Structure 1
Amino acid sequence: MPHSLKNFELVWIDQPQHLRHAAEELASQQILAIDTESNSLYAYQEQVCLVQISTRLKDYLIDARALPDLSPLAEIFNSDRILKVFHAAEYDLICLFRDYGFRFNFIFDTMLAARILGFQHVGLGALLEKYFGVQMNKKYQRADWGKRPLKPEMLEYARQDSHYLIALQEQLRAELVAADLLDLAVEDFTRLTIGIEDTTETCADDFWKIHGARDLSPEKAAVLKALYNFRESVAKAQNKPSFKVLSNQTLIELATACPKHQADLLERSTLHERQVRRYGPGLLVAVQEGLQAQPEHPPNHVRPRNSVLNRMEILQEWRKETGKALGVPSDVVMPRDVLCRIARANPRDLSTLKAQMFDVPYRFNRFGQDMLSVITREGLED
């Protein structure tokens, strides 16, 4: 059982000199637990507002709002000597790279470990209750972490997210070893730290990500793009999340109907009268701009050849059956992006297959021969 919160020292850091001193202490550790809190529900461009770091003796809460320069932590995060423990690491890694350019090495993700072990419930609350009998207070899960000062109970909430992770990592590591899955887990932890920069980029075609966008005609897709750009400009000016200005469903409805008058806007089921008063003129202008713009076509996604699709289907079936045998989700056996890569390459020997599995060497050693046998047995040529 890990130490209770009251037995740990809580260290609040909002001064540069205190951060430098803390970084010196953290750099001497062999393992750290890390979490972040952001203001995604309260700002147009979300930012990391709080960084929680726990050692075996202390919980540090670092005020990222007061300390825009967190560079003393960069070397620690990128260290291949200090193990960094996260729960659901991907979001934290993306946010810390986006705001500070931090890169990470040598991590352990307790949520991913639980998935690899085949657990049905992999949330932090479920795992802490399972292993330590700790019930987490979720009251501040959707709080505005950008506001200052933070309430004392918010600080207690925040420290919980990193406080137990070191002990939880020890429990899960032991189970991964017992199941002969630790090397597979480490492979996935490493994959999480690669290509983070690709996930933080935005582009002019982001409106295509809205559900229903690809069902529109090219002319109405151009209207959707204009409406999307209008919403983004308003959200940015008001420093609000885009969904708090207008919902995606509203944008799709407006692009479909192409209203011409204020009265037409009032007929939309997803638009409130207050929104019509506030944004109506801008929406009508955006609709007209979209109607006069060049039609928009979805980005080209070339349909794979039938032979590739057939190989993909065969490999997915193999993955499903292998997952059942191991008692883990099928994507734990082989990530989908790797499976797609292999299906396209149609490897006919182990050396070619190994080249396609360059980022999953453990899986190549464990499953490579089986996969090659499945592919070659079916004899599917391009």
Structure 2
Amino acid sequence: MIEDNTEAEKGPDTPEDAAPAPLLTLRDGLPPVTDTDEGLVKAAAAIAAGTGPVGIDAERASGYRYSNRAYLIQLRREGSGIWLIDPIELTTMDPLIEALDGTEWILHAATQDLPCLSDLGLHPSALFDTELAGRLLGYPRVGLGTLVETVLGFTMLKEHSAADWSTRPLPDAWLEYAALDVEVLVELRDALAAELVAQGKDAWARQEFDWLRGFEAPVRTDAWRRTSGMHRVRGRRGLAAVRELWTERDRIAQQRDVTPSRIIPDAAIVAAAHELPQDKAALLGLKGFHGRGAERYATSWVKAINRALTMDEDELPVRSPRAEGPPPPRAWADKDPAAARRLALARESVNALAEARNLPAENLLTPDFLRRAMWTPPKTRDPGALLDGIIEILSGFGARGWQIALTAPLLTDAVLHADLES
């Protein structure tokens, strides 16, 4: 789903008293929703008969459902118009998979939608990400609505971005909002592609888009450690209670396909882990223990707390597990002053180059890649061998060729100059 909270933002050159851009509307009206296998065959045939790239978007029910599944897919292609596909009732996506084979997809913020499309068997042969293109071009705001207004001159209303897309039937107002997200994706893609060529960044963009084709959502380990307010919990038993309560909530949420915070909020987990009540009455009497599932699943919460209270010491979690990679940059000066100097010089050089090339520094080189390379650079100080070593390191992290070509020499110089200052 395209999420954009920037509809009120103005472009850098927009006068305060300028007339508002015309509102984007559907040129062909609102199409019906395709929610049968027979209808999908018709939709796929129309899309296959179209020409050029295909604008695609997907709507999920984030904040309402546990799963990341797509509850609506919107597609637009020249010559075929807009199609709204409801995948929930379909038994197969094969006709659409076949129709899209060999086409270029246009998505905005592709990493949001690619996982749920992949779950349906939909994988791009080629890809153009309008959000990423906007970043590479140096646009300060790259939400879809802002780019459409800045580049194409239309205003987009973003009224239903937080809607529960698992609702059936979907209201027409929501469907129109969803359809508008692909209405001008082809035009936006063409305009941004021309700008990429003009700025000499089209080869960079192709490498980025090729990388995105293989994108998979990262799997978070120890996700329970992201519980909001967990820092207020005392001791390893308390941490164990957070973990057990979070895990139980996650199990219930997955079973019911409801977002976990709708069972009980993080604040309730923290409140229970702080006090460690051992029976239902004490648990429900806690100030701060609330939520739709607080009383309904009270027995489960008590069992989770008791598991934490009775587990062996060696099973208890620690406050800060040993992390892979370098320590936080603020600690570098104490732990390794030479590494701190390398990092400072490398950051300065990368930031300066990013400014000169009119793109965000994090798109020029992922900050984590930079930190890791400067914490443990190659041991050699022969300039050529050092450059080769840094190239190998960045490549191993997953940096793209264009990023390596621009930044590896800068990182090499940072290592050499930091040593001279020692």
- TM-score range with shorter-chain normalisation? 0.7 to 0.9
Q: Does 1:59 align with 2:82?
A: yes
The equivalent residue for 1:329 is 360
Q: Summarize deviations over 1:210-236 as a string: whole Å, max 9, x none.
A: 245467532221111111122123323
CA distance in 2, matches of 1:276, 1:11: 41
Aligned to 2:342: 311
Offset at residue 154 of structure 1 (A): 2.1
The residue that corresponds to 1:162 in the other structure is 182
Aligned pair partner of 1:191 in 184, 201, 211: 211
Corresponding residue for residue 5 of structure 2: none
Percent same amino acid among aligned pairs?
26
* Counterpart residue identity of residue 225, structure 2: W
Match of 2:16 in 1: none
Give the TM-score, by structure 1 length.
Answer: 0.85
Q: 2:401 aligns with which of 346, 351, 361?
A: 361
Whole-Å separation in 1 of the counterparts to 2:376 and 2:268: 42
Deviation at 1:360, TM superposition (A): 1.1
What SS class does the counterpart of residue 48 from structure 1 fall into? Answer: coil
Q: TM-score, normalised by structure 2?
A: 0.78
Displacement of 1:151: 2.2
- Conserved 8 A contact 1:36-1:48: yes
Quickly say closer, same or farther: Cα 1:272–1:310, change in 2 above 3 A: same
Deviation at 1:47, TM superposition (A): 1.9
Q: Which runs of 5+ in 1 are unaligned?
A: none
Aligned to 2:317: 296
From 17, 24, 47, the equivalent of 1:26 is 47
**Unaligned 5+ residue runs, structure 2?**
1-21, 327-334, 379-384
Relative to structure 1, is the Cα distance of residues 3 and 195 closer, same or farther in structure 2, using a 3 angstrom cutoff? closer
**Structure 2 counterpart of 1:138:** 158
Distance change in 2, residues 1:111/1:320 (3 Å):
same
- CA distances 1:222-270 after superposition (whole Å, capped 9, x unpaired): 1111111221233234432101111123212321222345565456443
- 3-state DSSP of counterpart to 2:138: coil
Distance in 2 (CA, whole Å) between partners of 1:207 and 1:129 is: 40
Q: In structure 2, how many angstroms separate the alpha carbons of the residues matched to 1:153 and 1:333? A: 40
Match among 199, 206, 225 for residue 223 of structure 2? 206
* Alpha-carbon distance change, 371 to 273 in structure 1, aligned in 2, over 3 angstroms: closer
Q: Which residue of 2 aligns with 1:371?
A: 411
CA 1:32–1:282: 2 relative to 1, 3 Å: same
User: Over residues 151-207 of structure 1, what are the superposed CA-to-partner deviations in whole Å (9 max), with x where a residue is unaligned?
Assistant: 2222211111111111111222222222222222332222323341x52x466x321
CA distance in 1, matches of 2:255, 2:301: 16
Q: How does 1:98-247 map to 2 (within 5 A)?
A: 99-196=119-216, 199=218, 201=219, 205-213=222-230, 216=233, 217-247=235-265
Please tell me whether the aligned partners of residues 53 and 105 of structure 2 are also in contact (alpha carbons under 8 angstroms): yes
Measure the CA separation in 2 of the matches of 1:274 and 1:55: 44
Q: Which whole-Å CA distance do the structure 2 matches of 1:269 and 1:188 have between them? A: 49
Amino acid at match of 2:419: G
| RMSD between superposed Cα atoms in Å | 3.1
1:27 Cα deviation (Å)?
A: 4.0
Deviates more, 1:69-78 or 1:240-249: 69-78
Q: Which residue of the partner structure matches residue 282 of structure 1?
A: 300
State the Cα distance separating 1:144 from its structure 2 match: 2.2
- Counting only pairs closer than 5 Å after superposition, residues 266-277 of structure 1 correspond to structure 2 as 268-272=286-290, 276-277=294-295
Cα distance in 1 for partners of 2:300, 2:135 equals 46
List per-residue Cα deviations over 1:288-345 (Å, max 9, x = no partner): 2111123113543146373555534432222222222233221022122432453355
* Distance 1:232-1:137 versus aligned 2 partners, 3 A rule: same
1:33-112 to 2 correspondences below 5 Å: 33-57=55-79, 58-74=81-97, 79=102, 82-97=103-118, 99-112=119-132
> 2:274 is matched by which residue type in structure 1?
T
CA deviations on 1:67-93 (whole Å, 9 max, x unpaired) are 1422333356563xx221111110101
* More displaced 10-residue stretch of structure 1: 25-34 or 240-249: 25-34
Superposed displacement of residue 275, structure 1: 5.4
2:271–2:289 contact (8 Å) kept in structure 1? no
**Preserved contact between residue 40 and residue 47 of structure 1 (Cα < 8 Å):** no
> Does the CA contact (< 8 Å) of 1:210 and 1:248 recur in 2?
yes
Rate the CA distance shift 1:2–1:342 in 2: closer, same or farther, 3 A: farther
Give deviations 1:80-124, integer Å, cap 9, x for gaps: xx2211111101012222x22443342111112222222222111
Name the CA shift for 1:73/1:43 in 2 (closer, same or farther; >3 Å).
same
Matched with 2:9 is none
The answer as to whether partners of 1:223 and 1:290 remain within 8 angstroms in 2 is yes
Which letter maps to 1:84?
W
